[in-house]
Amino acid sequence: MEYEFDDNPERVDRDAVWQWLSTEAYWGRWRTRTDVEAQLDSAWRVVAAYRRDTGELVGFARAISDGVGFAYLADVFVLDGHRGHGLGKGLVSLMIDEGPGPHFRWTLFTSDAHGLYRQFGFAEPDQTALVRPAAPL
């Protein structure tokens, strides 16, 4: 199967993104469809992976940024049936290294795929980083 990557926000299948984030993601399931739509609308950048033959969205990543020196990588996923083809690496590469922010300070929160993100320079924070956890809902 062949795949292509695209950063055109108009091409993103919002139903597919919502379906995965609301049923498969271990993070942020408390978000409503309206919340996810607002996040997509206000994203600094979105990238996606698509099947070449059908155009189906099979992977996705979203980023928020100040557009100058800082960005946050969020909602990265690849559908189960398409894992193992380098799509996660392709999404992160397009978002970070091939996009307008390769020199930004990037952050993310994840409890898995550390090996993937380390390939792009992500590491545990040093003494310059502080994080305030979310307050309970």
Q: Which pLDDT value is given to residue 34?
A: 98
| Residue 50 phi, psi dihedral angles, 5° rounding | -130, 145
Residue 118 burial (CB count, 10 A) = 11
Q: Which pLDDT value is given to residue 86?
A: 96
pLDDT band at 71 (very low <50, low <70, confident <90, very high): very high
Q: Is the pTM of this model over 0.85?
A: yes
Q: Each residue of 20-37: pLDDT tens digit?
A: 999 999 998 889 999 999
For residue 20 the two structure tokens come to: 């995965």
Q: Compute the distance between CA of residue 46 and CA of residue 56 in angstroms, rounded to an integer.
A: 16
- pLDDT of 137 higher than 80: no
- pLDDT of 70 higher than 90: yes
